[in-house]
Amino acid sequence: MDIASRPSEPVADPQLAGAAPPPLAPPVIRREDYQPPAWLVPEIALDFTLGVDATRVVSRLTVRRNPHGDGAALRLNGDNIAPLGVKVDGVAVNDWRLDGADLLIDLAGDAHAVEVETAVNPAANSQLMGLYASNGMLCTQCEAEGFRRITFFPDRPDVLSTYRVRMAGDKAAFPILLSNGNCVAQGDDADGTHWAEWHDPWPKPCYLFALVAGDLVANHDSFTTMSGRKVDLNIWVRPGDEARTHHAMASLKAAMRWDEETFGREYDLDLFNIVAVSDFNMGAMENKGLNVFNTRYVLADPETATDADYDAVEGVIGHEYFHNWSGNRVTCRDWFQLSLKEGFTVLRDQLFSADMGSEAVKRIEDVRVLRSAQFPEDSGPLAHPIRPDSYQEISNFYTATVYNKGAEVIRMMRTMAGPERFRQGTDLYFARHDGEAATCEDFVKAIEDGSGLDLGRFRLWYGQAGTPQVKVALTHAGTTATLALSQAVPVTPGQPEKQPMPIPLRVALFDRESGRHGGERLIVLDKASDSFTFDGFSAPPVLSINRGFSAPVSIEADRSNADLVFLAAHDDDPFARYEAMQSLVVRHLVAAVGGGLSPDDRAAGRAAIGEAFAAFLADGALDDLMRGELMILPSETYLAEQLLVADPGAIHAEREALKAWLGHALQAALIALHDRASAVPYSRDAAARGARKLKTQALIYLAAGAPEEAARRAIAQYRAADNMTDRQGALMVLCGLAVPEREEALADFHARYHGNALVIDKWFSLQAGSLHPQVLDHVQALAGHPDFTMHNPNRVRALYMAFAVNPKGFHVADGEGYRIIGDLIRRLDPINPQTAARFVPPLGRWRRIEPGRSAMMRAELERIAAAPSLSRDVLEQVTKSLG
């Protein structure tokens, strides 16, 4: 696309000129094939002549033959670019060649200067990889393989270079010119252009390169590091958005301090820039000294951002900042090691958020994400280990497995070592590998050496996919309780046989009478089966296991409803308390869906759930944030996970029926709760946030059990709202009800916030994710709304991802939901393949769905596969999902 729009440029490769690519399966890249680079690039100087439709790039590389390489030609990767001129040691040469999209240059000596000129069209770059335009601003996204869309380079993370960047452009269009590191010179030219030169002293792989040019304003601040260095901090946004950057700035400073105190990591430049862009494929990007963020993880004020949005800003700001050490100072040798930086950094951001707020609530939220996003991935056709063995398109591996399960695996090491010894391990890791491109094995070895832990068999967690299933039985004889455990790791694609893995389980046994336990124990199940004894129990105790979710496994324990009600009320581990409640509900709903529930059993199950519910609604010792957490029922996806073959319609109906029963049975308590919470004035403290969470939770149950009462309260909450949490919560509930208040609130919301893209995204999401009987019609109408565009990933996700994860709409019995997502994938793929590919996994669940829907899901995947030309991204996901 970039090339085709500049017909006068030489086109070296016919494929670039628009000829249909051959319909070959994309090549498979394998971890075991890793070879060190043949050439190193210690230095690079880039010179950009900026323009929205045409930007010229001159790249000067200092290349040196790698003594550990294989002596091959210099291979510079390219993607959709053509070399406009090549010089070696200052002399123009012609004896280069193209191998596919790569530029190959034979070099006689061991050290040379290589210069390559390219040109790109940022405005035509709808994939948002490489250099692209967003609202007239220019910015780059290079991870994983976007740098090769800007210039020819060994685009692999184990080639580290120091960067010097010069850029020049129209001063009116691009008053602010930013790149990595420090600005070392800048000036104006007579023709209305200006220029800036940046230098980054820290060697980095090209995926961490960034450039931003545009009309931006900054929230300026500073931070003094633990060694007393002053760092200038800037958060750059479009004019008018400055007032919405204060939470991001506070989060950044908190993250900088926290990383010093918790991991001993100090920032290493005098300047740290964050830029918010509205067109972005992911959440944010950790480019050295110049983090680029999706606006949704920067901008927040009470009027437009919910409490959850505030938390997400804090978490992502922390995440990207923490990458400065876990990712940038120590980077990845190759993309198979992605979890080295992502798993570790997710753990770091989780610990940070836990320290900033409620540790208990944060843990529950993290587990909920793992169970609703990662567990289904791990049990489906796209299952892969946290360190994959092969890929076709690396963008498809920025997954919940690599990120969230990766974090859980490192968290287990921390649990086994304890925080102090774990810290000795991470200190050693940073000291040993600073400035290097490392592997997951390097990380494990450093933790092992630094903490003294034996992680021999634990390494299996890096190579085996699938969520381990742990079976638990507790018996009692005399004064001894015996815990018998066994584990099985399920078969996953390409991995027919699994070995048992070390599984650390935090366990406590409660005395039924006193409601207390005599101390928690950490046991490690490292065999297929094992048993553990506990003495001093005159009566059978109540088992609390996998406390704090110490291992990312699923537990099958035969516990009575009474035991679960007991734990939901008494467990001193907040996660375990939540878990008891979840188990109670899961067990009931799974039985109900299976049709195996007699009317008596149904009544008994509901009574047990209602009892536990009423108990924590009334528990004065609970804070409201935690109470709100306990009120959230297991998701339909998680429920479906418990079944070999799920009927999404039945799951939805039973779950809604339970909500309605609770809403009806507990109506008075819920109304009292809503009244109490509604009297709490807005503030950002935990008590007020807890109250807001309860307000919406109460409305959700009332909407199911007493819809008229709920509609009345929701519209009142909507009208009175002085913050987005209340407003969105009320609108969400109204969206699911077929009442006139719904239209009033939706129209008001759109009028009130039109022009504010992030809030209009909410307007799309709330409708697409709703429980309304006509949700499909709404989605189809919204796709034609003037505010909808396929070119903005946030907007596409707001409408279609909200819909794809809405079981009521997506799994509608006639298959229309699958058709909507299939059509989206086909239409989006030519525009933004990376984002299009993210919609394939929901269809890929077909094997675990009842036959009627299953066939329609599969047919939809086949329709996609038959499309005339598909991106590597979508092709890989569709092929694997069908395979």
Among 285, 691, 714, 735, binds ligand PHE (CB under 6 A): 285
Task: In whole angstroms, give the CA distance from residue 874 to residue 865.
Answer: 9
Cβ-contact 342, 406 below 8 angstroms: yes
Identify the H or E element spanning 134.
strand 130-134
CB-nearer residue toward ligand PHE: 285 or 597: 285
Give 120 or 455: the residue with its C-beta nearer to ligand PHE: 120
Q: How far is the CB of 205 from ligand PHE (least distance, A)?
A: 12
User: Residue 482's beta-bridge partner residues?
Assistant: 475, 533
* Binding partner selected for residue 279 from ligand PHE, Zn ion, none, CB under the kind-specific 5 to 8 Å limit: none
| Residue whose CB is less far from ligand PHE, 143 or 579 | 143
Q: Which residues pair with 285 in a beta bridge?
A: 292
Query: Which partner in Zn ion, ligand PHE, none is near 321 (CB below 5 to 8 A by kind)?
Result: none
Interatomic CA distance for residues 791 and 826, integer angstroms = 14
Told to check if 320 binds ligand PHE by CB under 6 A, we report yes
- Out of 282, 542, 666, 864, point to the residue binding ligand PHE (CB under 6 A): 282
Q: Of 343-382, which residues contact Zn ion (CB under 5 A)? A: 345
Dist CA 62 CA 88 (whole Å):
10
Tokens of 687: 């008590």
Per DSSP, the residues of 570-586 read: H-SSHHHHHHHHHHHHH
User: How many C-beta atoms lie closer than 10 Å to residue 94's C-beta?
Assistant: 6
The window from 337-345, 590-598, 742-750, 788-796 that contacts Zn ion (CB under 5 A) reads: 337-345
287 binds, options Zn ion, ligand PHE, none, Cβ within 5 to 8 A by partner type = none
Between 327 and 807, CB nearer to ligand PHE: 327
- Closer of 286 and 579 to ligand PHE (Cβ): 286
Q: Of the candidates 148, 166, 244, 319, which one interacts with ligand PHE according to CB under 6 A?
A: 319
CB of 802 to ligand PHE, least distance (A): 21
State how beta strands 161-170 and 193-204 pair.
antiparallel
Beta bridge partners of 193: 170
Partner that binds at residue 759, options ligand PHE, Zn ion, none, CB closer than 5 to 8 Å by kind: none
> Which residues touch 803 (CB under 8 Å, ≥6 apart)?
768, 769, 775, 779, 809, 810, 817, 820, 821
Q: Beta partners for 116?
A: 59, 86
C-beta of 398 vs 810, nearer to ligand PHE: 398
Contact region with ligand PHE (CB under 6 A), list: 277-285, 540-548, 679-687, 808-816: 277-285
Name the minimum Å distance from CB 316 to Zn ion. 9
Radius of gyration for the chain, computed over Cα atoms and rounded to the nearest angstrom: 28
Distance CA 347, CA 29 (A): 28
Site for ligand PHE in 139-178 (CB under 6 A): 141, 143
Amino acid residing at 786: P
Binding mask 550-569 for ligand PHE (x = CB under 6 A): --------------------
Q: How many other β-carbons are positioned within 10 Å of the β-carbon of residue 325?
A: 24
Partner whose binding site includes residue 647, from Zn ion, ligand PHE, none (CB under 5 to 8 Å by kind): none
> Closest approach of Cβ 142 to ligand PHE, in Å?
8
Q: Shortest Cβ distance from residue 483 to ligand PHE (Å)?
A: 38
Nearer of residues 197 and 200 to ligand PHE, judged by Cβ:
200
Residue 708 CB neighbours (<10 A): 11
Distance in Å, CB of 65 to Zn ion, minimum: 33
Pure H helices in 594-647: 599-618, 624-630, 636-641
Of 82, 165, 231, 284, the one binding ligand PHE by CB under 6 A: 284
State the virtual CA torsion across 447, 451, 457, 459 in degrees, nearest 10. Answer: -10
The token pair at 167 is 């850029």
Return the number of the residue (317 or 670) whose C-beta is nearest ligand PHE: 317
Q: Which stretch binds ligand PHE (CB under 6 A): 283-291, 689-697, 718-726, 836-844?
A: 283-291
Residue 320 falls in the annotated catalytic set: yes
Beta carbons of 1 and 126 less than 8 angstroms apart? yes
Q: Under the criterion CB under 6 A, does residue 255 sit at the interface with ligand PHE?
A: no
Q: Indicate which of ligand PHE, Zn ion, none lies near residue 396 (CB less than 5 to 8 Å, by partner kind).
A: none
The entry of ligand PHE, Zn ion, none that residue 282 binds, CB within 5 to 8 Å by partner kind = ligand PHE
Catalytic annotation, pick one of 145, 286, 314, 320: 320
* Strand arrangement of the beta sheet that strand 521-525 belongs to: 521-525, 503-510, 542-545
Please identify which residue in the block is written with the tokens 């149950």: 701
User: What minimum distance in Å lies between the beta carbon of 342 and Zn ion?
Assistant: 5
Q: Give the residue with the Cβ less far from ligand PHE, 394 or 640.
A: 394
- If one asks whether residue 342 binds ligand PHE (CB under 6 A), the answer comes out as yes
Least distance in Å: CB of 430 to ligand PHE? 18
User: What distances in angstroms separate CA 445 from CA 407, 408, 525, 702, 781, one per listed residue?
Assistant: 17, 18, 21, 53, 55
* Residue span binding ligand PHE (CB under 6 A) among the ranges 90-98, 316-324, 377-385, 479-487: 316-324
Sheet-wide strand order for 176-179? 130-134, 137-141, 211-214, 176-179
Q: Write down the least CB distance from residue 313 to Zn ion, Å.
A: 15
Q: Which residues pair with 97 in a beta bridge?
A: 104
Q: Which stretch binds ligand PHE (CB under 6 A): 73-81, 280-288, 440-448, 686-694?
A: 280-288
871 binds ligand PHE (CB under 6 A): no
- Residue with Cβ nearer Zn ion (347 or 360): 347
Q: Is 393 in the site for ligand PHE (CB under 6 A)?
A: no
- Find the part of the chain contacting ligand PHE (CB under 6 A) among 219-227, 234-242, 315-323, 639-647: 315-323
Instruction: List the single partner that 284 binds among Zn ion, ligand PHE, none, CB under 5 to 8 Å by kind.
Output: ligand PHE
Residue 79 contacts residue 148 (beta carbons within 8 Å): yes
Question: What interhelical angle do 667-678 and 648-665 show, nearest 10?
Answer: 80
**Beta pairing partners, 231:** 223
Give 74 or 317: the residue with its C-beta nearer to ligand PHE. Answer: 317
Residues 6+ apart with CB under 8 A from 290: 178, 179, 180, 210, 212, 273, 274, 275
For the chain, first and last CA: distance in Å?
31
Nearer to Zn ion, 397 or 510 (CB): 397
**Tell me, what DSSP letter sits at residue 107?**
-
Q: How far apart are CA 297 and CA 146, in angstroms?
A: 22
Residue from 398, 510, 566, 718 touching ligand PHE (CB under 6 A): that is 398
Whose CB is nearest to ligand PHE?
Answer: 282
Q: Which x/- pattern, by CB under 6 A, does the window 91-130 give for ligand PHE?
A: ----------------------------------------
Q: How far is the CB of 156 from ligand PHE (least distance, A)?
A: 15
Toward Zn ion, which CB reaches closer, 345 or 794? Answer: 345
3-state SS string over 500-551? CCCEEEEEEEECCCCCCECCCEEEEECCCEEEEEEECCCCCCEEEECHHHCC
310 binds, among ligand PHE, Zn ion, none (CB under 5 to 8 A by kind): none
Q: How far apart (Å, rounded) are the C-alpha atoms in residues 630 and 662? A: 14
Binding range to ligand PHE, per CB under 6 A, among 319-327, 445-453, 563-571, 754-762: 319-327
Question: Catalytic residue numbers?
Answer: 320
The residues of the shown chain that bind ligand PHE, judged by CB under 6 A, are 141, 143, 281-282, 284-286, 319-320, 323, 342, 398
The residues of the shown chain that bind Zn ion, judged by CB under 5 A, are 342, 345
